[in-house]
Every structure is written in structure tokens, then in C-alpha cells.
Amino acid sequence: MIVVMKRGATPDQIAHMIRRIEEEGLRPVPLYGTERTVIAVIGDERGEHRQSLASGPGVEEIIPILAPYKVASLEAKPERTVVQVGPLRVGNSHLGIIAGPCSVESEAQTLATARAVKAAGAHALRGGAFKPRTSPYSFQGLKEKGLEILALAREETGLPIVTEVLTPSDVPLVAKYADVLQIGARNMQNYRLLEAAGETGKPILLKRGPAATLDELLLAAEYILNTGNYQVMLCERGIRTFEDHTRYTLSLSAVPALHERTHLPVVVDPSHGTGHTSLVARMAAAAVAAGADGLIIEVHPDPEHALSDGFQSLTFQQFEELMALCRRVAEAVGKTLEPATTPETSLVAQVA
Amino acid sequence: MIVVMKRGATPDQIAHMIRRIEEEGLRPVPLYGTERTVIAVIGDERGEHRQSLASGPGVEEIIPILAPYKVASLEAKPERTVVQVGPLRVGNSHLGIIAGPCSVESEAQTLATARAVKAAGAHALRGGAFKPRTSPYSFQGLKEKGLEILALAREETGLPIVTEVLTPSDVPLVAKYADVLQIGARNMQNYRLLEAAGETGKPILLKRGPAATLDELLLAAEYILNTGNYQVMLCERGIRTFEDHTRYTLSLSAVPALHERTHLPVVVDPSHGTGHTSLVARMAAAAVAAGADGLIIEVHPDPEHALSDGFQSLTFQQFEELMALCRRVAEAVGKTLEPATTPETSLVAQVA
Amino acid sequence: MIVVMKRGATPDQIAHMIRRIEEEGLRPVPLYGTERTVIAVIGDERGEHRQSLASGPGVEEIIPILAPYKVASLEAKPERTVVQVGPLRVGNSHLGIIAGPCSVESEAQTLATARAVKAAGAHALRGGAFKPRTSPYSFQGLKEKGLEILALAREETGLPIVTEVLTPSDVPLVAKYADVLQIGARNMQNYRLLEAAGETGKPILLKRGPAATLDELLLAAEYILNTGNYQVMLCERGIRTFEDHTRYTLSLSAVPALHERTHLPVVVDPSHGTGHTSLVARMAAAAVAAGADGLIIEVHPDPEHALSDGFQSLTFQQFEELMALCRRVAEAVGKTLEPATTPETSLVAQVA
Amino acid sequence: MIVVMKRGATPDQIAHMIRRIEEEGLRPVPLYGTERTVIAVIGDERGEHRQSLASGPGVEEIIPILAPYKVASLEAKPERTVVQVGPLRVGNSHLGIIAGPCSVESEAQTLATARAVKAAGAHALRGGAFKPRTSPYSFQGLKEKGLEILALAREETGLPIVTEVLTPSDVPLVAKYADVLQIGARNMQNYRLLEAAGETGKPILLKRGPAATLDELLLAAEYILNTGNYQVMLCERGIRTFEDHTRYTLSLSAVPALHERTHLPVVVDPSHGTGHTSLVARMAAAAVAAGADGLIIEVHPDPEHALSDGFQSLTFQQFEELMALCRRVAEAVGKTLEPATTPETSLVAQVA
């Protein structure tokens, strides 16, 4: 941490801040520059309350030096985390493909999609049973009935299930059916939900909030990691910017930048990240080239009639074309889409 | 809703879309322009699944016309909603002032602050007992102990309590002590929490998420209003932008723009909206001039030692100066800071 | 400047960077922390080439400490700059009001507007003769004919003229007619234009670019100040964000934040900053409460027929109402709208 | 264009707007909906002055339907534009690689870089002689001396020269040396410069401004195309967002989205688009996978000593690695990096 004093800071003010830093159990090193004095602070500066030093007399600003997260950092765990459930492996040389409808609408729609995405090479099935919807007037999901349909689809295809959970009290129910719990972008900082989901021990797909920095995403992951659950996949799904040609701006630099900071694998969602069917395949390919460890893609038998997100869903044929493109790009960057054969984690979620 | 067809759309595609619109129970009016065809759609277009029409053949885009919210709209309820609890009145000619520490840290800190803000003219006490913190390593609040301290402060000063609730399962406990339930910016789209808080019947202070549009804020309010609870205050507290001279960008145009759209009163939080003590008073005054119905301000006896948000907290004297400035500006724009004397809602929350 | 080394930086890398800093004529102070080493750098770190130190071996990042601007800073000139031309005084206790049409469309339209805004209390007339238009198919301005009309309006009303210049080769012509040269938001970093305008010695109204930080705005001002011309007004006119209820997000915190950093006065443009007539008056009042030194407002005799910006222009009556509101708020914050009577700068621009 | 009337709009107001639309030479089609009336407008709605209809009585908003650009549109010219200069071909199956230093610093630095990038497979040399710098205290470029050095490098390597021009009066000088004129991001809406550069007939590399929408970029291109010069390359180089892990947010969805809208080729600049050497190669590969027609990359013999942009420049070896990666990805998506052999445009710029 660097405490930057104002240009006219008095010796008394500087002395006061030196004492305050010592009070915090840290070591101050005052540096008297040509234009102003700064006080370098040595020690573990983490703990947001230390930002209150910015209110000290004569202080201009506080500049943190250390990354605020710990266990998510590559420094804490230099070997990369690989998340595996059945045929899905996300991390290192494996590119994991998660595909399926935005919402589970019916058994027929879900099973048809599960078969189609499996045939095209996907490793897991996504599908929402509990849907967070911006408008209370929109379809809210089939809830437990939807989970049962997903379990059926898993039974038939062998694809593990990735599905969202919205609130802590639903975690036990959703975890009974799901193989991977998804925390949606709206809930990235819903800390009680992060903890409840983490405590199930199931792999977690944590989506980046549309206004979250990478530090904030990693701190959210840290809430999960601190439950002892290290099976966490981060997901870039687009940020809010001024752009109007897409629903969100898919920030692919997050992929290599996260790889520089954390051992956790990074999945990209080009469906939400663009909001337009016609852009999904190209941005999926770009994500793979950027080094993504996985993709999550919305696919629907009949997007025009979808109860949600039709405008960004692919038909079965469009998904096949995406897979062909991504397979070629994956090979170009040294990744494989082969299903995992030596499971590191078994398919744990079986409905009793 | 306007369905804009692509330039080369065929008669078959246009005919298909006309049928699809009819299937939705809406009336299509095709308009054959010089460069392209658009189909105007008459009827209530709400329901997000209709956006899936964008996936129809030959469709370029779908443009909604109607605002997506209903009961929050000024059209649904032309008279302004006024929220009142004890001396706090927010709406119409009354400017309600909510002040207090970011976190309840101790009885002494909280009581001293309550006395000071009351003396300066505040109408309600804010203070966090359950704290949502970006980092798991930061102070997480005193929880129930904090609520007890807030109740003590209310007993002594008569100021109603505004405090945050983080998760549905905490709602009964927090509602036992609080007069106003605050939904924080991170939870603006935590729909189960909105519903649980709404169902208590207590007034709700709903903070705008840092990446939320006004439509999204109003749709979040709609989740609460749909529980039958109309005591909702909206709160502008800054949005995420590229600016680096403040923690967030306080978007004061939200105040008059919300007043054009909704009957709900609008509170402004210049503490979070700037993140710098030195900017708070000026932005509070600007909020009042913009027509805000209330302010929520962080005040601490000793900001430099605050366990959270010291860098944006005011000392007692700074808060007094802010009140003097805001009082003058309020008069200039026809608002009063007098405490409410004819309570429309009584002080309902008394610890048994 | 702080050079933050990577966690695993070797002693050789640290030694290399210490030498590099010395090569730059600066003094390095290495600080060996618990998790990583940082090297504090003492001396004048300005000069962007020093950012290339970030490419040194083992370097994680470079954190600048000193503000990059010099002569614009409050430290360089603690007394506030006041810009005055005839009745317009911008700075300190005077609130200068600049009003007029977006574009000069005709003599009748311009003179009618000049008379109306003068009657309502404005101190200067704005009006574009050379118009920067996003689309080449939009009205591009009357050019010299427009300047002649503005001069006529000045002759009749005594209001000094504020008008935009787009390119260095137009500067002599525009300066022949204008009292204040406006640099538009699109040209904030058009450095040759900044220099050419500065060299005229005329007061400059420099608009903030929609993606510019305050540092970048002040560095742009510095290009003008370095020509020896200190008559510079900065102008906040809205930034690009995700918000869709306004054309731009008017960032009023820029007003007090600039006042903390620079001696230059700050004008606010709520017309461009909102893009909606109905929001202009309230945001003008908010700007005054935030401490603005001036306002620039679009006014048109018949906005519905305006050749540009009708959607954000005020009618004469709306402008009168805005003036009444702003006058009351100005008094509340200790500012006056009285025209300047003891000119510090005379009305210099007279057409020969 | 759709004119959306307010909910309570009166028949008189609707009749007034119908007349106004007819006055504009357009055909109004009023549609009386359940909640409000909208008036669809048939005809060519372009011309920004028509947005002033938004100021009409009872009007809520105006929604444009037609894209505002014309000649840049794919509809106007369905075959893709290919820009070729010597070995550089940008468009269709050719991926053009432009590489070189941010600034021309010396003959030795520039020639060494030119040789290295040519050896690695680049098709053109970039290098700034006139530098737009945020700070007036930064290196401003070698100006004509720099251009002479670039010409020398061309003579030796055969690589055509891409270099920036800052102001209209420099265009003749820069055009005497350059093969491609670059318009920088700061100047995207410097319309006189766009026109002056366009009139040289030389190929133009037009960088997207950091706050520009795709419509605004295409309208800027339209200023050049309207001079009769169709040799325009668009360049995505990052937008301003809240993200702090990169200097800008490289928005790769712009690539396929531009390809859907325009016939002009799209180049990506991952150096400015990330601002960090370590992220450049991955984002270059992602750009290729997204369908980019070209890349522009900063390369320097010794980034740590660069006079500008060292922090985002690649060493020769890093550039070789980038080329190897991009070559593989290019093949995966059906593009070639082979130099053009059947020039469509000859190397026209030879210093007399």
C-alpha cells in the first residue's frame, strides 16, 4: 500500500500517518520526494478497513499494491485447476463444451436438444429450471419439474447437467439434480448464495457480473474457495458498455488476463456475450483462440419459439457448424475437444 | 413492437412473420417502405419470450415500444408515492435525510452518530449490521448484535432505522428491528430477496445496481410492488463507467428521468456515488437541485478509523455543513427538510 | 512512480530496474515487502516514455504518483482563473450563462434567439457556424455567412459570441468574428487545433471528450496553456456510458473534482449532457449546486423545426424558467448571475 | 422512423405530427395501439434534422429504422472491398499483417524492426513520425525526418509504409512518403482530416474512437468514401470501459458485426486494445478467429527503452511467436498470410 500525502502536507500530518500505519501492525517507509511525500507500507495490507486511512489528515489517496484475493491466485496454487465431471473436462489441454437451451421448456424440447448437442460433440448439457428474469412478467422456469427433465436427459445421454441456482434455500434441491451449479451474473456478489453453493462440494460455474472487474470476480470466487470447494470455473459472459451492436461486450482479454492471475479455468459464454445468433460462432472461435478452457452455448430446436433468449440461440445445425469451427481453432492452439476418458471426478449427482 | 425485416426479406418471410405475430395474439401491420419492410405490432407486447421473434426468418431486429414495467409507471398511478416512517418523509415537497455510519461497529459509535445526525436535522438513521463485502477478508458486520444497537439508537433518538438485508432467510430477523429494509446495489436483481423483503410490508430502499438501466431498476421495483407493497424508494448510488476520479459515476439525470417514468420517490446516495469525502456535500446539493426526494449519507465519528468506507464518510461537522448547504438548495427548489409531523405511516418496527 | 516487481522477481531483475531508474535521472528506493518488492522512484517522473519501464524484466506494473499535468494544476497557480469577455464572467462568484441555438440557421432565427436569451439574463450567445456532424448527410453549418450573422447579433445585443472552430486552417476566420473559440468534444485531443486556437489569445471553451478522463482533459488544456493563453474554460458535457435514458451521462462530480485539481473554471452543458429538453433545466440547476462556474444551453425559437439538436433545445419560455430556477439555486450556493460590470477583458473581437 | 406519441397524446397533437412528417416529404402511417399511438414514417428518413421531430407536441421519442450510413453499407456494395498495397492485402481470404514500432525513434531502430517483422512474415511496416500524445510533455515524433527513415526502410525491405497523419495541413507531406495514411482514434471524427486524407486517393486505415459506436465509425468512413476513395480499412483498437486489467477493452464482436454491415475490411490492433505485451499474441489470435482481415502490431527492438508504448510492444522474438500462432489460427478459419503476388494496387508512394 502506498499512502500518497497531499502536496502541502505538514510534518505533523506525516508523523500522524506514520503512527496510524504502525497501529495497523504495518511498517511505514516515508519517502520525501521533490513534489510530495509518500509513505510506502510494508506488510499484508489486505482488509478493506485499511482503506479508511485515506481519511487521514493530509492524505491525498491510498494505492493498494497487493492483489486483494489470496487462494484464487496463481501464486497460492501454481498448478492449474481442472474441473471434471464425467465427459466434461475444463482446463489445461481440454476444451469443455456445455450446450443446451436457455430454459427447460418441455421434455421433448430438452431431450431433443440434449441428443443434438451430444451428437455434435458437447460434453455437458445446460438448461435453466429456475430462471432469473429481468421482468416479473417473463417465463420464470419450470422449477423442480425442469430439474426432473434435465435428470432424464442425463440418464439418456450421459451428459452431466449444468443448471442455475438463484437463492440459498433452493441449493439443496438444485444440487440433488445438478452436476454443476451455475451462479448467474446477477448473483455474482450474492455472498450467501456463493457460500451455500460452495458448501455442496459440487463444481460451480461462476459468471462474471456485467459490471465486475477481474479482482471482484476473483474475490467472489474466493467466497466459494473458502468453503473448501476448489471446483470453480469462472465465466466471461459480457460486460455492460456503451456499445449497441451487441447486448453486452464480450471482453475476451479477460481470458488470458485471468490465466495470468488465477489457477481457475475460464469458460466463455458467447451467447449472452453477444445477444445475437449470427455472432455466436465467430465469438466462440475467438474465445478458443484467446485460450478459453470451455464454452457455454445456447441451443434450441426452434429459436423463434423459445420462451427465452431465442434471439441468441443456435439451431442444431448452427451448433454443428460452430463445433466444426471451434474444433479446428482448438487444434491450432493446442486444445482438444475429446471427451474426458479418465475421470478425475465421477458423475456424483444421481437422483436417489 | 416493431419487427424490422432485412433489406432482402422475401414475401414468404414477411408472410411467415405476420402469421407468427398473430399466433402471439397480437395484430401485425406490415409497412412496405422504400428500403425495407417493417411490421408494426399492435397489442400488449410485454413478455420477454416475444423477443424470440427476432430469430424469425428474414428478421433484422425487434424494437420494443412499450415500457416493460407496469405498476411502477406513472401511467398506472399518476399521484406520487410518498414513503413515510416517523419523522422521515420521502416524496413530494419533503426531502428525507437518512444518515449514519456505513457499518454498526459499536454501541458508542452508533449512538454518538445517531445523536449527531439527529441534531443536524436528519430524519432517519442508516447503519449496516449485515454487510455485503467485496472481499471475504473484510469486516462482515455485527449481525444481530448490530441490529440491537440500532434499536437502542432508535429508542434514544426516535430516528427510524434503515438497514440492509442480504438474503431471504435473514429477512424476518432484520425486519424485526428495521423500519426500512435496504436492498443493496449488488442485490438489485436478487429476485427472491426482493419478494421476501416486499412481503414484510415494510418500506424498502432499493438501490440501483451499478450496471442497471432505469428500465431494469423499475422492473426490479416491480417485483416488490407485485407483493402488494407500494412503499418503495428508488436509490441512485452511482454507475460503473470508465471514470477514475470517483469510485462510481453518480448519474443525477436519473432523478428527473425517473420522475418522468414512475410515481416512486428517488433517493440519492452521494457517499457511494463519489467514494470521496470531499465530493459528498457538493453532490448532495446537486442531487437536491436535480429534484431528489431524499439523501442517504455516510457519517462516522472518526472516519479514519472506520471499519468500512471511511474514505467516503463525513465527520459530524462535515455533515452539519452538508445539511446547511442542502437546506438552502432545497428551499431554492421548493422542498422542505422539516420532519414529518402528520405521520402517514407509524413507527411500526418495535422490538418485542 | 512506483515500480511493482512480480512476486518471483530475482535479485538480478531488481538490480537491473534500479539501474534503469538511475539512467532516467531518478532516484530508486527499493522496498523489500513480505510478498513482493516495490521500487519507489523519487524525482519528476513525467514523460510518457518512462511508462516503458513497465517492459523491464520482472516488472508487474508501474504506478504513477504525480498528476501528469503541470500548469493547469492548482498547485502551479493557487488563485482561480476567471474568464471574462464583456458581460460574461466565468469563475469565482460569477455564474456565466452562454445560450443560443445549436446552429446558426438564419439571421431571423439567430437574432430572435439572441434577444430572447439576453432578456432572460444570458451573458453570451452561442451558435454554430461550422458544425461537426456525425453524418455527412446532416446540415454542416452556414460557415462564414453564419459568423456574419453572429456578429450582427453581437452588435445588436452586446452579447459576446461563443462559436466552434473545427480545424486549424479555419482558426483565423473564426477568430475574426468570435469572442470565445469553442473546441468541441470530438476535437478535445486534436492537438494542432488546440495549439492554433490557443495562439489567437482568445478565451477558449474546451469541451471534455465523451471518453476522456479528467487527467486527459487537463492535459488537453495544457496544450492550450502552453501557448501562453490562460483564458481556458473547461466544459463537462456528458460521457459515454451504458445508460440509455439520456444521450450521454452528465457527470457532475467532474465539477468539484476539477475544482480540487485545477484553477481553470468549469462550465456545464446540460443540453448535450442529457439530450432531452425535459431534463435540461433540472440538470442545469444541479450543475449550479455542484459549483459550476458557467452553463451553456441550447435555445431555439422553434425546436421542432431546428436543423440540429431540436430534441435537446429549449424554447424561449423554457429558457426563462431555467434561468429563474438557476438564479435561486445560484444564490443558495453563493453565486451571482449579474452581468460583469468591471471588465477584466474587453470585448476584443470586432469585425474590422 | 417511428414517431412514438406519449400515452396521453391528443388527436390534435397526432394530427400535427402527421402534417409535420408530410412537410418533410415522408409518408406517415398512424397506428392506434391499445396503450399509445405510434406513427410509422415511410421514406428516406436520413438527415439528422429530422430528429428534431422529437420536439413535437405530444411526442415521446423518435426511433430510427434505417442505418444512417449509405455507401459504406453492404447493401450499397455487396462485394467485399479488398485493400492492397504491394505485398499487403487486407480482405477476403488474405490476412494482412502490419507491424513496427509505435514511434520512429531512429534509423537503426526502424530498420532493425523492419527487417525483423519482414523476416517473420509481416506485409507492411507501421511507425509514427507525427505522434498524437495525451501529454504535451511526451515525445512528439521525429516528423519529416521520421518519414524519411520510413522511406529508407521501405526501400530496403519492400514493405509499404503505414503512418499516421494528425492534421489536414500535414496531409501532402505525409502522403508524399506513406503508402497508407492512418487516422488515429483521437481523430476519428476530425472530419476535415478525413476529407483531406481521402482526397489523396491513398488507402486509409481508420481507427475506431474509444467511445464510438459502429454506426459512428461507419459514418466517419462515409466522409472518406464520399471523396471517391474506397480504399478504407476500419480498425478496432479497443473501447473505453470500466475494465482496469487492460488499457482499453478490445471489442472483437465488432469484427463480425462490421462484416454484417459493411463491405470494408476490418483490421484489429491488439497492442492498443490491451496495453499489455503479455496479452497481445492471444488477442491477435482471437481477432483472427473472429474473422479479422488484418492485424496491426507494435514491435520494438528494446521495448524497455521505447520512447512510447513500450509496455505494449513486442520484442522480435515475441512477434515471431505471435506470427506462428496466428498462422495456425488463420489456416483454421480459411485465411492465408501469404504475401499478395498479383497486386491490385501498385506501390504508388515513391519519394521523388
Using CB atoms, pick whichever of C2, C4, C44 lies closest to residue A34. C44
> DSSP letter string over C41-56?
EES---SGGGGGGGGS
Task: Provide the 10 A C-beta neighbour count for residue C231.
Answer: 24
**Residue C48: its pLDDT value, please?**
65
Confidence band, pLDDT 50/70/90 cuts, at residue A7: confident
Given a cut of 50, is residue A352 above it in pLDDT? no
**Residue B42: its pLDDT value, please?**
87
Q: Which residues of D touch B7 (CB under 8 A)?
A: 75
Q: Determine the average pLDDT of the residues in B75-103.
A: 96
Q: Please report the number of interchain residue pairs, chain B to chain C, with beta-carbon separation below 8 angstroms.
A: 127
Placement of cell 460433440 in the chain:
A121
Given a cut of 90, is residue A155 above it in pLDDT? yes
CA A197 to chain B, closest CA, distance in angstroms equals: 14
B106-165 residues touching D, CB cutoff 8 A: none
Neighbours of chain B (3+ CB pairs under 8 A): A, C, D
**Contact (CB<8Å) B68/A137:** yes
Q: Please report the number of interchain residue pairs, chain C to chain D, with beta-carbon separation below 8 angstroms.
A: 164
Given a cut of 70, is residue C349 above it in pLDDT? no
Confidence band, pLDDT 50/70/90 cuts, at residue B352: very low
**Residue B170: its pLDDT value, please?**
97
> What strands, in cross-sheet order, belong to the sheet with C2-5?
C27-32, C37-42, C2-5, C59-63
Q: Which residues of B touch C274 (CB under 8 A)?
A: 253
In angstroms, the Cα distances linking A28 to A3, A42, A58 are: 9, 6, 16
Q: List the single best residue of C2, C3, C26, C249 to mutate versus A (max A Cβ within 10 A).
A: C2
Average per-residue pLDDT for chain A: 93
Given a cut of 50, is residue A349 above it in pLDDT? no
Confidence band, pLDDT 50/70/90 cuts, at residue A47: low
**Residue A342: its pLDDT value, please?**
62
Using CB atoms, pick whichever of C57, C136, C187 lies closest to residue D222. C136
**Residue B249: its pLDDT value, please?**
98
Given a cut of 60, is residue B321 above it in pLDDT? yes
**Residue D62: its pLDDT value, please?**
87
- Count of H helices and E strands in chain D? 10, 14
CA B238 to chain D, closest CA, distance in angstroms equals: 13
**Contact (CB<8Å) B226/A136:** yes
Cβ burial of B342 (10 Å; 0-12, 13-18, 19+) is exposed
Q: List the single best residue of C164, C189, C206, C317 to mutate versus D (max D Cβ within 10 A).
A: C189
pLDDT per position as a tens digit, A19-36: 999 998 899 999 988 788
CA A333 to chain D, closest CA, distance in angstroms equals: 7
Residue B130 and residue B171: Cα distance in Å, rounded?
11
pLDDT per position as a tens digit, A119-132: 999 999 999 999 99
pLDDT per position as a tens digit, C80-117: 999 999 999 999 999 999 999 999 999 999 999 999 99
Confidence band, pLDDT 50/70/90 cuts, at residue B48: low
**Contact (CB<8Å) A31/C44:** no
**Residue D51: its pLDDT value, please?**
79
Residues present in chain D in total: 352
- Residue A289 C-alpha cell reads as 483462440
Using CB atoms, pick whichever of A32, A38, A42 lies closest to residue C65. A38
CA C84 to chain D, closest CA, distance in angstroms equals: 26
**Residue B153: its pLDDT value, please?**
98
CA C4 to chain B, closest CA, distance in angstroms equals: 20
Q: What is the pTM of this model?
A: 0.94
**C284 half-sphere exposure, CB direction, 13 A CA radius:** 34
* Residue A116 main-chain phi, psi, to 5 deg: -65, -45
Percent of chain A residues topping a pLDDT of 70: 96
For chain D, which residues score pLDDT lower than 50? 344-352
Confidence band, pLDDT 50/70/90 cuts, at residue B64: confident
Q: Which residues of D touch C69 (CB under 8 A)?
A: 135
Q: Which residues of D touch A291 (CB under 8 A)?
A: 282
Q: Which residues of A touch D282 (CB under 8 A)?
A: 255-256, 289-291
Given a cut of 80, is residue A351 above it in pLDDT? no
Average per-residue pLDDT for chain C: 93
Residue of chain C nearest A34, judged by CA positions: C43
Q: Which residues of B touch D65 (CB under 8 A)?
A: 2, 4, 33, 36, 38, 63
Using CB atoms, pick whichever of A34, A43, A65 lies closest to residue C38. A65
Q: Which residues contact A130 (CB under 8 A, 6 or more apart)?
A: A140, A141, A143, A146, A163, A164, A165, A166, A170, A174
- Report which residue type is found at D6: K
Q: Which residues of B touch A186 (CB under 8 A)?
A: 189-190
Q: Determine the average pLDDT of the residues in A98-124.
A: 98
**Contact (CB<8Å) C252/B250:** yes
In angstroms, the Cα distances linking C118 to C113, C181, C242, C268 are: 8, 20, 37, 19
Cβ of residue C64 closer than 8 Å to a chain D Cβ:
no
Confidence band, pLDDT 50/70/90 cuts, at residue B344: very low
Placement of cell 480504399 in the chain:
D231
Q: Which residues of B touch C285 (CB under 8 A)?
A: 289-290, 333
**Contact of A53 with B304, CB cutoff 8 Å:** yes
**Residue D43: its pLDDT value, please?**
83
Angle at A92 between CA A88 and CA A94, to 5 degrees: 35
**Contact (CB<8Å) C279/B288:** no
Using CB atoms, pick whichever of C52, C68, C191 lies closest to residue D306. C52
Whole-complex ipTM: 0.94
Residue of chain A nearest D325, judged by CA positions: A333
Given a cut of 50, is residue B149 above it in pLDDT? yes
Given a cut of 50, is residue C296 above it in pLDDT? yes
Residue of chain B nearest C241, judged by CA positions: B241
B289-328 residues touching A, CB cutoff 8 A: 303-311, 313
**Residue B8: its pLDDT value, please?**
86
**DSSP, res A304:** G
**Contact (CB<8Å) A31/C42:** yes
**Contact (CB<8Å) B2/D65:** yes
Residue of chain C nearest B243, judged by CA positions: C213
D208-227 residues touching C, CB cutoff 8 A: 209-211, 216, 219, 222-223, 226
Using CB atoms, pick whichever of B251, B273, B285 lies closest to residue C249. B251
CA B170 to chain C, closest CA, distance in angstroms equals: 33
Q: Which of B214, B263, B211, B261 is nearest to B238 (CA)?
A: B211
Q: Which residues of B touch C251 (CB under 8 A)?
A: 241, 243, 249-251
Confidence band, pLDDT 50/70/90 cuts, at residue B245: very high
Alpha-carbon torsion C43, C49, C55, C56, what sign?
negative
**Residue B47: its pLDDT value, please?**
66
Cβ of residue D58 closer than 8 Å to a chain C Cβ:
no
**Residue D52: its pLDDT value, please?**
84
Torsion of CA A310, A312, A318, A321, to 10 degrees: -160
Neighbours of chain A (3+ CB pairs under 8 A): B, C, D
**Residue C346: its pLDDT value, please?**
41
Cβ of residue D240 closer than 8 Å to a chain B Cβ:
yes
CA B46 to chain D, closest CA, distance in angstroms equals: 12
CA B293 to chain D, closest CA, distance in angstroms equals: 25
Q: Which of A182, A329, A343 is nearest to A267 (CA)?
A: A182
**Contact (CB<8Å) D253/A290:** no
CA B317 to chain A, closest CA, distance in angstroms equals: 14
Q: Determine the average pLDDT of the residues in C225-243.
A: 97
CA B187 to chain C, closest CA, distance in angstroms equals: 19
**Residue A348: its pLDDT value, please?**
39
